[in-house]
Amino acid sequence: MKRTHCILIVLIAAVLCSHPVLAFDDIDAHRFCSRCGMDRKAFGYSRMLIQYNDGSEVGVCSLHCAVIEMDANKARKVRALLVADRDTRILLGADEAFWVTGGTKRGVMTEHPAWAFSTKNAAEDFIKQYEGSLASWADVLAAAREEASKERR
């Protein structure tokens, strides 16, 4: 029985250490937002990681800064856009997240907050506490782009 637990612990540790998304290596590699300079560790619950096809990565503090980064680099193809789960801070695909928009919880770098969750239950629990509504990734991205474009005018 003890040997089984040891093997399981070693396997879990190996996965966590080898997988940068789970091990929070993105914060060590990109401590400060490339757009605004905010501390991504302090804002770990809203951070995003943009992975480009050329193998480079850009760490940002929020969806707002991710939109600014991607719009400034339209010629570069995005391979993956990862977002932190609001509760666990573990990164997941932005298009896989359950998104909550609006509500009483103040957003990061935006007047119209959008929060990502890895489960629908977590998103619904957040809504019970802070209000807001479930939204699709496409709607969240479009709203963030619209808000960012108004700022640039």
Residue 106 has pLDDT above 70, yes or no: yes
Residue whose pair of structure tokens reads 């757009």 in the numeric block: 35
pLDDT in tens, 140-149: 999 999 999 9
* pLDDT(87) > 80: yes
Q: Tell me: the pLDDT tens digits for 50-70?
A: 999 999 999 999 999 999 999
pLDDT at 152: 72
pLDDT band at 133 (very low <50, low <70, confident <90, very high): very high
Question: How far is residue 146's CA from residue 91's CA, in Å, rounded to a whole number?
Answer: 24
Distance linking the first and last C-alpha atoms of the chain: 65
Q: Which of 40, 144, 43, 151 has its CA nearest to residue 99?
A: 144
For residue 135, the model assigns a pLDDT of 98
Work out the average pLDDT over 78-85: 98
| The pLDDT value given to residue 14 | 43
pLDDT of residue 33: 98
pLDDT of residue 24: 75
* pLDDT tens digits for range 13-42: 444 443 444 447 999 999 999 999 999 999
What gap in Å lies between CA 112 and CA 7, rounded to an integer?
A: 46
Domain ranges across the chain: 20-152
State what percent of residues in the chain have pLDDT above 90: 80
> Mind giving me the DSSP string for 81-143?
EEEE-TTT--EEETTTSEEEE-SSSPPSS-SS-EEEESSHHHHHHHHHHH--EEE-HHHHHHH
